Amino acid sequence: MAAKLERRELGKTGLKVSCVGFGASPLGNVFGPVSEDVAIATVSSAFSLGINFFDTSPYYGGTLSEKVLGKCLKALEVPRNEYIVATKCGRYVEGFDFSAERITRSIDESLDRLQLDYVDILQCHDIEFGSLDQIVNETIPALKKIKESGKARFIGITGLPLDIYTYVLDRVLPGTIDVILSYCHHCINDSTLEELLPYLKSKGVGVINASPLSMGLLTENGPPDWHPASPELKAACKAAATYCKENGKNISKLALQYSLSHKDISSVLVGMNSVRQVEENVGAALELADVGKDEKVLAKIEAILKPIKNQTWPSGINHS
Ligand code: NAD
């Protein structure tokens, strides 16, 4: 793999993130067990193939993902400014707590587990599970203080329903929120994030798009048991994966290439738990840059997925 993985500006942060980002939730064993040796080899291959952006959360595997990622990054033995680390706060296996007190404690705990002095990005995790007015009036001011302290260079918010972003960004001063992390809304089966991109650009916010494989729906092995999609959505994705397999194509490769092709999305976070997956995903990005998407097969998959296009699932408490 001689070609270089593209890096893109992340909003107004000045950070240049690899277009494929490393989603570290699998290091918390959420998609099945991953040994420490495999985790270290996976992160090391990601870094050597040009991935410089790593995303985790205290929630993934009940803090395990942060601890394992910390060990893996240390094992790289490279200067701290050569990689970009994002973690989150407010969501824990014990439940949600978006209070200023918990957020302020959370960053210290994360830094300890990650063995770092600072994170590049601290995001409030899945804000649709809290009161959005608390997020605006209490959580974001606490995040701003953490930014001022230098423990996080930039701050952001994450969650599934797209209207949380407009709600919050319309109620804070421009420049307050540096990034948003949306997931499962820019994949072959759901492209609703695209409609929000001009608004996010107008607010100067960097866009991270996670779960291009729709948390396992767009893979040959299929999603984990906990996946919240409807049986109908799961069946359609399975049919698309089967079509690809029968025609000698890899659904995950096509899905990642689809997600990567919008330049207003700075990085696409894929959860990876093996060197093979890293190589496949970086290879898919390089192939996209070189020869473009396989439009013919993509059109066939889009036709299979059409009956469930943009179908999502409920997340969070009702804000209306
Ligand atoms: P994903 O869509 O990236 O799917 C991950 C699954 O696909 C795993 O089972 C992985 O082993 C498998 N996979 C990866 N590459 C593959 C390949 N080439 N071939 C076959 N299978 C492959 O879903 P995800 O891991 O949930 O999302 C990516 C990352 O985004 C997470 O790790 C996390 O860092 C972030 N994320 C954040 C939020 C949030 O903040 N609310 C939500 C979802 C995801």
With respect to residue 313, please indicate whether it lies within any of the assigned structural domains. no
With respect to residue 248, please indicate whether it lies within any of the assigned structural domains. no
With respect to residue 105, please indicate whether it lies within any of the assigned structural domains. yes
Nearest residue (CA) to ligand 1, atom 32? 23
pLDDT of residue 50: 98
Are 55 and 183 in contact, with CB atoms under 8 Å apart? Answer: no
> Residue 291 is inside which H or E element, if any?
helix 275-291
With respect to residue 93, please indicate whether it lies within any of the assigned structural domains. yes
Nearest residue (CA) to ligand 1, atom 33? 23
Q: In Å, how far from its chain's centre is CA 107?
A: 19
With respect to residue 62, please indicate whether it lies within any of the assigned structural domains. yes
pLDDT in tens, the chain (320 residues): 557 899 999 999 999 999 999 999 999 998 899 999 999 999 999 999 999 999 999 999 999 999 999 999 999 999 999 999 999 999 999 999 999 999 999 999 999 999 999 999 999 999 999 999 999 999 999 999 999 999 999 999 999 999 999 999 999 999 999 999 999 999 999 999 999 999 999 999 999 999 999 999 999 999 999 999 999 999 999 999 999 999 999 999 999 999 999 999 999 999 999 999 999 999 999 999 999 999 999 999 999 999 999 999 999 997 65
pLDDT of residue 314: 95
What is the count of structural domains for the chain?
Answer: 1
60 has catalytic annotation: yes
**ipTM surpassing 0.85:** yes
The response to whether residue 72 sits with its C-beta less than 6 Å from ligand 1 reads no
pLDDT tens per residue across span 119-166? 999 999 999 999 999 999 999 999 999 999 999 999 999 999 999 999
With respect to residue 249, please indicate whether it lies within any of the assigned structural domains. no
CATH of the domain at 125: 3.20.20.100
Nearest residue (CA) to ligand 1, atom 26? 215
Task: Count other Cβ atoms within 10 Å, centred on residue 281.
Answer: 27
CA angle 69, 54, 113 (to 5 degrees): 35
The response to whether residue 279 sits with its C-beta less than 6 Å from ligand 1 reads no
Mutate which of 68, 270, 273, 288 for ligand 1? The one with the most ligand atoms within 8 Å of its CB, which is: 270
> Residue 120 is inside which H or E element, if any?
strand 119-124
As a whole number of angstroms, the distance between CA 121 and CA 154 comes to 5
The response to whether residue 158 sits with its C-beta less than 6 Å from ligand 1 reads yes
The response to whether residue 211 sits with its C-beta less than 6 Å from ligand 1 reads yes
Counting from 1 in the atom list of ligand 1, the atom nearest the Cα of 253 is 18
pLDDT of residue 167: 98
Nearest to 211 by CA among 301, 308, 75, 312: 312
3-state helix, strand, coil in the chain (%, to 5): 45, 20, 40
Task: Count other Cβ atoms within 10 Å, centred on residue 283.
Answer: 15
Nearest residue (CA) to ligand 1, atom 18? 277
pLDDT of residue 54: 98
Identify the domain containing residue 192 by its residue range: 7-219+255-289
pLDDT of residue 318: 73
The response to whether residue 156 sits with its C-beta less than 6 Å from ligand 1 reads no
The response to whether residue 281 sits with its C-beta less than 6 Å from ligand 1 reads yes
Distance 67 CA to ligand 1 centre (A): 18
Q: Where are the alpha helices (DSSP H) in the chain?
A: 36-48, 64-76, 100-114, 132-134, 140-149, 163-169, 193-202, 231-246, 251-260, 275-291, 295-305
Q: Which of 60, 92, 165, 183 is catalytic?
A: 60
Give residue for tokens 């999502």.
312
Dihedral sign, CA of 8, 10, 13, 15?
Answer: negative
pLDDT of residue 1: 53
Residues written for the chain: 320
pLDDT of residue 60: 97
